[in-house]
Amino acid sequence: MKKDKVSSRRDFINKGVRLTLGLTVVGTGAMALSRRSGGEEYVWQIDPFKCTQCGRCATECVMAESAVKCVHAYDLCGYCDLCGGYFKPGAKLQTGAENQLCPTAAIQRKFIEEPYFEYIIDEELCIGCAKCVKGCSAFGNGSLILQIRHDRCKNCNQCAIATACPSNAISRVAANKPYIIKGHFTNEKEG
């Protein structure tokens, strides 16, 4: 009789474990299907109105190269000769590399006509440090902003940058409207 109790306990535990695993697999599959069919998908994004340009986007991302990049809201730009996002504050107006604010030279300055220049972001060089964004906000009109590029982002369950963000500027947004736009920036990756 003792042997029957032992085997029935084992059977009970085995059935319980199988049932739990089965429910977990079915629940996970159902959740994945609901996200794809009819359920709205979400992605991480930076709210440019809350961002304090702390620089943590460059260092806290789980990616070796941060998924956060500077983008340019061209509609807001003044095309200034002396751009606060391009030149170090107090620098003489010279286009030498030593006067550039960006540590990776990710911003190109292109002459349009006197006294206007266009500033173009090379996202391949941008590390998301926010130095240009901070300079543009402090001395300009705030046309440079940080955004998470979803072609680079892993869309982690918990964004490491969001956890480290002191201003809670990073949150989930609907995937069908992935960019929180300040003005309107023109970029082929926009979407």
pTM: 0.72
Residue 23, pLDDT above cutoff 80: no
Torsion angle (degrees, nearest 10) of CA 173, 178, 181, 184: -160
For the chain, what percent of residues have pLDDT higher than 90?
50
Are the CB atoms for 55 and 121 separated by under 8 Å?
no
Tell me what pLDDT residue 164 has.
97
Domain locations along the chain? 1-39, 42-174
Per-residue pLDDT reduced to its tens digit, 119-154: 999 999 999 999 999 999 988 889 999 999 999 999
Per-residue pLDDT reduced to its tens digit, 33-58: 444 445 789 999 999 999 999 999 99
Torsion angle (degrees, nearest 10) of CA 168, 190, 65, 172: 30
Residue 65, pLDDT above cutoff 90: yes
